[in-house]
Copies of this chain bind each other. A is one copy, B any other.
Amino acid sequence: MNDESGVERPRIGRREAQRQATEQAILTAAETVFAEAGFGGATMQLIADLAGLPKANLHYYFATKEALYRAVVERIFVIWLRAADAMDGAEGPAEGIGAYIDAKMEISRRHPNGSKVWASEVMHGAPVIQDYLETTLRDWTAGRVEVIERWIAEGKMAPVNPEHLLYMLWATTQHYADFNHQIETLNGGRRLTAAEWAKAKASVKQIILRGIGVV
């Protein structure tokens, strides 16, 4: 039963690994609670219960409720930005925007809670991530606008306003996460099946791609 006799363990150490695992468990629990109750309605006790540790211990990892919330929001932002890569290096709008829609729909499907926390944060005036909006997001947006304008100039798509096209992409894809409860209710109270998700993706791409003169 001597660990030292076996394969070398990664040098991260049990302790550090445990810490990271606990942190992730807390962040996931917090994401759920913040999504379901909002920042004001969420309680540290609820998050602690869901993460399976005492409230006092939660405060050992995250000093304040705000610090925990900020960590949750930043975690989402990273995922969100990663989908942006889907749009890069594409030949034209059919490929680039199509892939971006696919990527964002997949995020809505797999991280609905994260999307909700993000939406809630922005709706309340972005008290925590205002700087991200003004730097990272603004830069990213400007870059994509250029790409779209180039595609238009090259005659690869219809001349539409690039900013409003981006807003439409965000709105439509995130709607499937933020309003999933409404969608499920209108779907007879049932979650969307894999086939229904595929149909949703196809419908969104069909309308938007045709809407910008592609396909």
Whether the Cβ atoms of A123 and B211 lie closer than 8 Å is: no
Whether the Cβ atoms of A179 and B171 lie closer than 8 Å is: yes
Inter-chain contacts of A158 with B (CB < 8 A): 210
A165 at the interface (CB under 8 A from B): yes
Tell me, in angstroms, the Cα distance from A167 to B105 when the chains sit together: 14
B-contact 0/1 string along A19-40, CB 8 Å cutoff:
0000000000000000111111
Tell me, in angstroms, the Cα distance from A122 to B160 when the chains sit together: 31
A102 at the interface (CB under 8 A from B): no
B-contact 0/1 string along A35-65, CB 8 Å cutoff:
1111111100000000000000000000000
Which residue numbers of A lie inside 8 Å of B, CB to CB?
Answer: 35-42, 116, 119-120, 122-126, 130, 133-134, 137-138, 141, 158, 160-161, 163-165, 167-168, 170-172, 174-176, 178-179, 181-183, 185-186, 199-200, 203-204, 206-213
Whether the Cβ atoms of A203 and B39 lie closer than 8 Å is: no
Whether the Cβ atoms of B182 and A122 lie closer than 8 Å is: yes
Least Cβ–Cβ distance between A4 and chain B, in angstroms: 51
Inter-chain contacts of A36 with B (CB < 8 A): 124-125
Whether the Cβ atoms of A185 and B123 lie closer than 8 Å is: no
Tell me, in angstroms, the Cα distance from A178 to B160 when the chains sit together: 23
Q: Which of B120, B171, B178, B213 contacts A210 (CB 8 A)?
A: B213
Q: Which of B37, B123, B199 contacts A181 (CB 8 A)?
A: B123
A-B contacts besides A36-B124, A39-B40, 14 pairs, CB < 8 Å: A37-B40, A38-B120, A40-B42, A119-B119, A122-B181, A133-B185, A164-B199, A167-B183, A171-B174, A171-B175, A172-B172, A207-B212, A209-B211, A210-B211
Inter-chain contacts of A39 with B (CB < 8 A): 38, 40-41
Least Cβ–Cβ distance between A172 and chain B, in angstroms: 5
